[in-house]
Structure 1
Amino acid sequence: NPTNENGFNELDRWALSELNVLVSKVTVFLDKWQINNAANTIQDFCDRLSNWYVRRSRRRFWKSDEDPTKMAAYSTLYECLNKLTIILAPFAPFITEEIYKNLNQGKTDTSESVHLTDWPKVNKKLINSSLSNRTELAITLSSLGRSARSAANIKIRQPLSELLVELKTPEENKLLPFIEDQLMEELNIKKISYVDSNEKDFFNYVIKPNLPKLGPKYGTEIGRIKTLIENSNPNDLASMIKKGSSVKLDDFMLKPDELIVENFAKEELFVSTDGIYTVALNTKLNADLISEGLARDIIHTVQNLRKNSGLNISDRILLWIHTDDETSKLCEKHFSYISSETLAVDINNDQSKENTNSTTLNFNNREISVYLKKSS
Structure 2
Amino acid sequence: MTPAVATPSPAILRTVLERRMERVVGGSERGPHFFPEWAIVFRDVCVRGLSGFSGKKWGSGTVLSTAPFGKAPNKNVVVNGLILASDGQKMSKSKKNSPVCGKNLKFKEEGVRGVLKDVVLPWYSALRFLLLNIEGFVEEHKRPFCYTEGEVVTNLMDRWVISLTQSLVEYFHNEMSHYRLNVVSSVTRFFDNFTNWYVRLNRKRFRNNTDLGDQKAALWTLFDVFLTMVVMMAPLVPFVSETIYQHLRTFLAQSVDSVHYVTQPQSNTTLIDIDTERAVSRMRSIIELGRVIRDRKNLALKYPLSEVVIIHQDPQYLGDLHLLEEYIRTELNVRIVTLISGRKKYGLTLQVEPDFKILGLRFKDELRTLVTGIRALTRVEIDEMIKVGYIVVKGQRIEISEVKLLWKLETNSGHYEVNSDNDVVIVMNVAPDSVINSSRGLVLLELAKIPTTVKNLYSEVFRLFGVDNFRLVNSDGKEIGDSELLSLSGRTIFVVPCNKNVVLPKETVAPFCEVRNFVERNTEGTIILENPEGNRTFFSELDYKSIVYEWTKMPKTSQI
SS in 2 for 1:35: coil
Aligned to 1:275: 422
- Structure-to-structure mapping, 1:306-317, within 5 angstroms: 313-315=498-500
Cα pair 2:242 2:258 within 8 Å, conserved = yes
Cα pair 1:202 1:271 within 8 Å, conserved = no
Change (3 A) 1:174 1:290: same
What is the identity, as a one-letter code, of the residue corresponding to 2:171? K
- Structure-to-structure mapping, 1:271-310, within 5 angstroms: 271-290=418-437, 293=440, 299-300=465-466
1:196 aligns with 2:341: yes
Residue 241 (structure 1) aligned to one of 382, 385, 391: 382
Aligned to 1:123: 268
User: How far does the alpha carbon of each residue in 1:15-40 deviate from its partner, in whole angstroms, 9 at most, with x for none?
Assistant: 1111111111111111111111x222
Aligned to 1:81: 226
TM-score by length of 1: 0.66
- Structure-to-structure mapping, 1:1-376, within 5 angstroms: 3=152, 8-36=154-182, 38-64=183-209, 67-105=212-250, 107-167=252-312, 169-196=314-341, 199=344, 201=346, 203-204=348-349, 237-238=378-379, 240-244=381-385, 262-265=406-409, 266-267=412-413, 268-290=415-437, 293=440, 299-300=465-466, 313-315=498-500, 329=514, 333=527, 349=534
User: How far does the alpha carbon of each residue in 1:105-156 deviate from its partner, in whole angstroms, 9 at most, with x for none?
Assistant: 2645012111110111222222111111111111111111111222222222
Q: Percent identity?
A: 20
TM-score by length of 2: 0.46
Change (3 A) 1:65 1:108: farther
Cα pair 2:304 2:436 within 8 Å, conserved = yes
Query: What is the distance in 2 between the residues matched to 1:58 and 1:301?
Result: 11
Change (3 A) 1:151 1:315: farther
Change (3 A) 1:237 1:19: same
Q: RMSD of aligned C-alpha atoms?
A: 4.5
Query: What is the distance in 2 between the residues matched to 1:272 and 1:113?
Result: 50
Query: What is the distance in 1 between the residues matched to 2:341 and 2:208?
Result: 41
Query: What is the distance in 2 between the residues matched to 1:204 and 1:31?
Result: 49
What is the identity, as a one-letter code, of the residue corresponding to 1:287? S
User: Where is the helix percentage greater, Structure 1 or Structure 2?
Assistant: 1
Gaps of 5+ in 1: 230-235, 246-252, 304-310, 321-327, 339-346, 351-361, 365-376
Quote the offset at 1:264 in angstroms: 3.5
What is the identity, as a one-letter code, of the residue corresponding to 1:14? W
Change (3 A) 1:74 1:273: same
What is the identity, as a one-letter code, of the residue corresponding to 2:254? D
Change (3 A) 1:81 1:282: same
Change (3 A) 1:215 1:125: closer
Aligned to 1:249: none
Query: What is the distance in 1 between the residues matched to 2:368 and 2:205?
Result: 63
What is the identity, as a one-letter code, of the residue corresponding to 1:264? K
Change (3 A) 1:201 1:27: same
SS in 2 for 1:190: strand
Query: What is the distance in 1 between the residues matched to 2:367 and 2:167?
Result: 50
Quote the offset at 1:210 in angstroms: 11
What is the identity, as a one-letter code, of the residue corresponding to 1:243? E
SS in 1 for 2:305: coil
SS in 2 for 1:161: strand
Query: What is the distance in 2 between the residues matched to 1:149 and 1:281?
Result: 9
Cα pair 1:65 1:71 within 8 Å, conserved = no
Cα pair 2:353 2:404 within 8 Å, conserved = yes
Change (3 A) 1:288 1:29: same
Alignment coverage as a number of residue pairs: 305
Change (3 A) 1:30 1:260: closer
User: How far does the alpha carbon of each residue in 1:177-219 deviate from its partner, in whole angstroms, 9 at most, with x for none?
Assistant: 222222122212222223436536264567899999999669x
Cα pair 1:63 1:70 within 8 Å, conserved = yes
Cα pair 1:166 1:279 within 8 Å, conserved = yes
Change (3 A) 1:13 1:349: same
Bigger Rg over Cα: 2
Greater alpha carbon shift after TM alignment, 188-197 vs 73-82: 188-197
User: How far does the alpha carbon of each residue in 1:28-81 deviate from its partner, in whole angstroms, 9 at most, with x for none?
Assistant: 111111111x22221111110111110011111122397111111110000000
Query: What is the distance in 1 between the residues matched to 2:271 and 2:428?
Result: 35
Query: What is the distance in 2 between the residues matched to 1:68 and 1:115?
Result: 33
What is the identity, as a one-letter code, of the residue corresponding to 1:160? L
Quote the offset at 1:167 in angstroms: 2.8
What is the identity, as a one-letter code, of the residue corresponding to 2:434? A
What is the identity, as a one-letter code, of the residue corresponding to 1:289? I
Greater alpha carbon shift after TM alignment, 143-152 vs 187-196: 187-196
Query: What is the distance in 2 between the residues matched to 1:278 and 1:261?
Result: 10
Aligned to 2:454: none
What is the identity, as a one-letter code, of the residue corresponding to 2:408? F
Larger RCO, structure (CA 8 Å, separation 6 or more): 1
Change (3 A) 1:169 1:319: farther
User: How far does the alpha carbon of each residue in 1:277-326 deviate from its partner, in whole angstroms, 9 at most, with x for none?
Assistant: 221211233431216746789835999xxxxxxx9754365799xxxxxx
